[in-house]
Structure 1
Amino acid sequence: MPITTGSKLALYFYAVALALVAALHLLAQLVAADEILAYVTQILLMPLLFGALYSGTTAKRPRLVRLVLIAVVFSWLGDTVPRFMGGDRGFLVMVGFFLVAQLFYIAALWPFRCGSVAGRTLPALPYFAVFAALVLACAPGAGVLLVPVVIYGLALVLMAMLSTGLGSLAGVGGAIFLISDGLIALRSFTAWELPALSFWIMLSYVMGQGLITVAVVRHTRRPHP
């Protein structure tokens, strides 16, 4: 069923607003990463993505859309709640919310597993190679946080592999999401540093979730038997 004219207008509004807020946020990451503009714009990103996905799909939303919407909500919580905490507690809360988000992504993408790289040894190797390299790099500095980080990493890798079952666009989004969280792990637990690292983390974060969302919208608009 095609979306209504009102829904199309809402979709355009949310898409444009998301692009503008993301641009502002990325600029803030370059010039004032610890100032109020960076905080406010980051908190707005996922609600705008939620609005774009919601308005870009029909009222009778399939299971895929409903679960991805929930994943976006938990991603927003992961962006927002830890800002009111500090240290290891805040980091664990962030990991916890994003782990729940990944579990909802996994549940949403699970029906597409047969067409994904999950369970196919050679195509899955790069994902596990990235995961193993990150664990080896981060283990010395992670301490007691290593176990929750490994659990979250496994869920993230599974999500990234399953996303390929929804098509190449979602697969690229899942891979970019994996890169984003890999950069966070390297920043948190190693001495490795990339210039403007926060910028690259947030760019890949927004791109990853955005591409998955676009793929979900496209999938729902295809005719299905």
Structure 2
Amino acid sequence: MIPCRTLPRVLFLLFAVLAVAHLVIQLLGIDAWDRPTQVFLMPVLLLVLAGSTGRPRGRLIVLAMVALVFSWLGDTAPAFASGDTAFLLMVGFFLVAQVVYVVAFRPYRNDSVLTRRRWLLVPYIGFVAVLVWLCAPHAGGLLVPVLLYGLVLGTMAVLSTGLGPWVAAGGALFLVSDALIALRAFAPGWDSLPQGGFWVMSTYIAAQVLIVLGLLSRPRARTGVETAA
């Protein structure tokens, strides 16, 4: 039997193997193998987070685990639909995941760029504004969900800056990853981006890993007693 202190490391190694395999499959364009590897990514990362933290788990860790569950649903549910329905399923579940991350990160807003170094808000606002400018004219009936998702995603990225550099980097990469999805779906010319799926998944995987590792690096995260003002 694997000792408890070793299990998270083994799970993280498994996650790394799955992530590398999935990205290689993306590069090679082997569509038949793409879905199986993607389905297991977030559950294994969730187990890493769960196995690295003690009980009772604090609010921050519990909400991060919930966000990973909805991220997994966003990864898997579209396979059971097609066209706009599949896209809306993906956006819907990831929207819920982002809302959960917003709720999780909000208590730390006083340490974020909302109150400290406010000039750093400029690139976040500018990035979201340019993304909307490029996508909105071509979104059609999906304009409202796309705008809502962009707003929530930008809020999550901004609030993530209150939890240290790793979580902030994860939030920023999430913004990039989902921006690539929106651009490929709506902006003319972006659907032919070389290895577009690879860039979406590599930034997405890195974002989730950085968020999880950043949360685990917080001094009280493993004991479940972390509090925030």
1:179 aligns with 2:211: no
> Are the aligned partners of 2:15 and 2:41 in contact in 1 as well (CA < 8 Å)?
yes
RMSD (Å), alpha carbons: 1.6
The size of the alignment, in residue pairs, is: 220
> Are the aligned partners of 1:117 and 1:124 in contact in 2 as well (CA < 8 Å)?
yes
Mean CA deviation greater in 118-127 or 211-220: 118-127
How far has the Cα of 1:96 moved from its partner? 0.7
How far has the Cα of 1:125 moved from its partner? 1.1
> Are the aligned partners of 2:8 and 2:48 in contact in 1 as well (CA < 8 Å)?
yes
Q: Among residues 156, 167, 170, which one is paired with 1:170 in the alignment?
A: 167
Q: TM-score, normalised by structure 1?
A: 0.93
How far has the Cα of 1:195 moved from its partner? 1.3
The separation in 2 between residues aligned to 1:134 and 1:157, in whole angstroms, is 11
Query: Against the structure 1 CA distance between its residues 143 and 33, is the aligned structure 2 distance closer, same or farther, given a 3 Å change threshold?
Result: farther
> Are the aligned partners of 1:118 and 1:158 in contact in 2 as well (CA < 8 Å)?
no
The separation in 1 between residues aligned to 2:105 and 2:3, in whole angstroms, is 28
> Are the aligned partners of 1:131 and 1:157 in contact in 2 as well (CA < 8 Å)?
yes
> Are the aligned partners of 2:58 and 2:226 in contact in 1 as well (CA < 8 Å)?
no
The separation in 1 between residues aligned to 2:105 and 2:217, in whole angstroms, is 14
1:111 aligns with 2:110: no
The separation in 1 between residues aligned to 2:96 and 2:14, in whole angstroms, is 26
How far has the Cα of 1:140 moved from its partner? 1.9
| Aligned amino acid, residue 71 of structure 1 | A
Identity over aligned pairs, percent: 46
Return 5+ residue gaps in structure 1 as ranges: none
Q: Which has the higher helix share?
A: 1
The separation in 1 between residues aligned to 2:5 and 2:14, in whole angstroms, is 14
Return 5+ residue gaps in structure 2 as ranges: none
SS of the equivalent of 2:139 reads: helix
> Are the aligned partners of 1:71 and 1:100 in contact in 2 as well (CA < 8 Å)?
yes
Relative contact order, higher structure (CA 8 A, sep 6+):
2
Query: Against the structure 1 CA distance between its residues 137 and 16, is the aligned structure 2 distance closer, same or farther, given a 3 Å change threshold?
Result: same
For 1:60-79, list aligned pairs within 5 A. Answer: 60-79=56-75
